[in-house]
Structure 1
């Protein structure tokens, strides 16, 4: 959707204070704008300080009522199973949200804490254990009436195979165009395709029936993982949660962890995270294969080349060249990681 066709979120602070917050029994409060995104998934977040100095979060969500009730169900289920989350607070009419000018708003406590650090090994292990608990307690999850069950369950092999074919198409374009980006792209094509082929071999043999299923956060990354004053993990932003293969959450978390400079494709850290997770929520052989196929795939190399050749006439060529050069630096470490994995796990 073109941003020019998107209606901007333009409620004034006075309108929020006078017309929205009182519906949550919060009057004469002060607010601080934290985030506004005027995209096709328009949302806004405000930090609200009440007269008694209690602090809350007011969030304008982008999804419909059915999806909102699903997310409410997930958060409530986790809260009742002792996962620390920002529980929805009821409106004065005892509703789980309020509607104002065709927009939906939710109200929660403001969770204080520091953002989880990928460079803190204790945080990484703590986050791995917390994710295992989240998956363990939601295997039998069911949402409340009136909600829309969100599910994933995408076939990883089909997705990776499609991406691999796109990379081959990009190579054909690169051979013809032969500009600076294309030369950088072709310089590591063979190595990156080695990664792709390993991913395809792993994912092709996965038995989907053997994959663990649970609620997945969908965006289990540092910005949504807080460490509170009691050194406990608190989770926020369940907008992308769904019932899905548990391995998708684990894979997303590990890929974000491993591509960083201080943890760059470190097999020992990967093994420790999976070990700690497995103590709480057992991983099948197919779960492990899914995770490794997911994280080995050269995601950034694929995404940059796809975006560049799809928008070559508008692309900032200098910026794309710099980004691809940085992505290529990861390739040799991913190859070493893949070789070690193959040997360690007999893949």
Structure 2
């Protein structure tokens, strides 16, 4: 029996597009882990339109060309294409990044993650992407916040008209007014900040964001080096978007301990300076109740998750409300 006989037929067709002697393949989370004669690789189906994938591929290549190589860079096919086409589907191959997922509750991991993010942002400068409107987010924070606030208002009015309300509906109604008021506060903070000025400067210098800097997308190897994977959601936007997202993840993981968020900011600033004007913009980002809107949107629009799971998420936000308020209030004085 030959080595290729150990691989499913479809994967033989895909992997034959590469200079790769594959021995074994198995599913791993959202990708396939490929064992080859010269190491391990990740194979992933591309579910974006080709033009949109070009934005993602181009962003990663830009980082690599500007000194940031700590990414799962796409390996070209034998013909030099960034993806393999097989039976109408596209697949991307990259080196497997060995290590463990970051744990943002561990100070050392948080330091590595924050410093790695700042280095990524520095290297992102000057990326002029292929046009893909959905990825270009310059100057959109206000309209995005307003749209989501208005959706919460629409959900509220719609749920009130329901005669037989679910547990989700009742809990949502008990907290929606508070979170609408948080939307208003976030918009007021944004209006008082230098958002337009910062946006204009960063757009001119063409930075971009990873846009999904979750702990599982930061891999730390045995030497303590941080790597960033999964650029599927990268966008052209303020670097504060990523930084604020990291700080929020740390806040939620720590029970809204403002000191942990300040650590993330401190470590990030060891690599890239964050001006006082940027910190004002961060205040708006941190205040906006993105997760509350997200769980409501998932329930009332997307409707692709179980009610039990969504209810757990919603209950978390309701229970965390006092801690969230206290943590953000303290953070606003210290940031």
Q: How do 1:103-118 and structure 2 match up within 5 A?
A: 103-118=89-104
Is the partner of 1:188 in helix, strand or coil? Answer: helix
Q: How do 1:48-87 and structure 2 match up within 5 A?
A: 48-50=34-36, 52=37, 54-80=39-65, 81-87=67-73
The 1-side partners of 2:112 and 2:219 are apart by 11
The 1-side partners of 2:240 and 2:123 are apart by 15
The 2-side partners of 1:126 and 1:141 are apart by 24
Change in CA separation of 1:172 and 1:72 when aligned onto 2, cut-off 3 Å: closer
Q: Please name the residue that 2:285 is paired with.
A: 294
What is the CA distance between 1:130 and its match in structure 2?
0.8
Q: Please name the residue that 1:19 is paired with.
A: 13
Q: Is the 8 A contact 2:250 2:260 kept in 1?
A: no
1:196 to 161, 183, 198: 183
Q: Please name the residue that 2:245 is paired with.
A: 252
Q: Is the 8 A contact 2:283 2:332 kept in 1?
A: no
Q: What do the CA deviations read for 1:251-290 (whole angstroms, capped 9, x no partner)?
A: 2222222212xx1222112222212222322223442233
Q: Please name the residue that 1:209 is paired with.
A: 197
The 1-side partners of 2:115 and 2:68 are apart by 13
After TM superposition, the structure 1 stretch with the greater mean CA deviation from structure 2, 209-218 or 129-138, is 209-218
Q: Is the 8 A contact 1:17 1:29 kept in 2?
A: no
Q: Please name the residue that 1:167 is paired with.
A: 152
Is the partner of 2:8 in helix, strand or coil? Answer: helix
**Residue 135 in structure 1 maps to residue 125 in structure 2:** no
The 2-side partners of 1:70 and 1:166 are apart by 29
Is the partner of 1:23 in helix, strand or coil? Answer: coil
- Calculate the TM-score normalised by the size of structure 2: 0.83
- Calculate the TM-score normalised by the size of structure 1: 0.80
Aligned residues: 319
**Residue 228 in structure 1 maps to residue 216 in structure 2:** no
Is the partner of 1:256 in helix, strand or coil? Answer: helix
What is the CA distance between 1:308 and its match in structure 2?
4.2
1:157 to 111, 118, 142: 142
CA-atom RMSD in angstroms: 2.9
The 2-side partners of 1:290 and 1:35 are apart by 35
Q: Please name the residue that 1:281 is paired with.
A: 272
The 1-side partners of 2:49 and 2:152 are apart by 36
What is the CA distance between 1:229 and its match in structure 2?
1.5
Change in CA separation of 1:95 and 1:322 when aligned onto 2, cut-off 3 Å: closer
The 1-side partners of 2:161 and 2:40 are apart by 58
1:324 to 289, 297, 314: 314
The 1-side partners of 2:298 and 2:279 are apart by 30
The 1-side partners of 2:60 and 2:299 are apart by 39
Q: What do the CA deviations read for 1:50-94 (whole angstroms, capped 9, x no partner)?
A: 2x3521122221223333333233222322413411222232223
Is the partner of 2:59 in helix, strand or coil? Answer: helix
The 1-side partners of 2:296 and 2:75 are apart by 45
Q: What do the CA deviations read for 1:157-177 (whole angstroms, capped 9, x no partner)?
A: 222222223333344445554
Q: What do the CA deviations read for 1:301-322 (whole angstroms, capped 9, x no partner)?
A: 333344445589x997666544
What is the CA distance between 1:196 and its match in structure 2?
2.4
What is the CA distance between 1:97 and its match in structure 2?
2.6
Q: Is the 8 A contact 2:247 2:265 kept in 1?
A: no
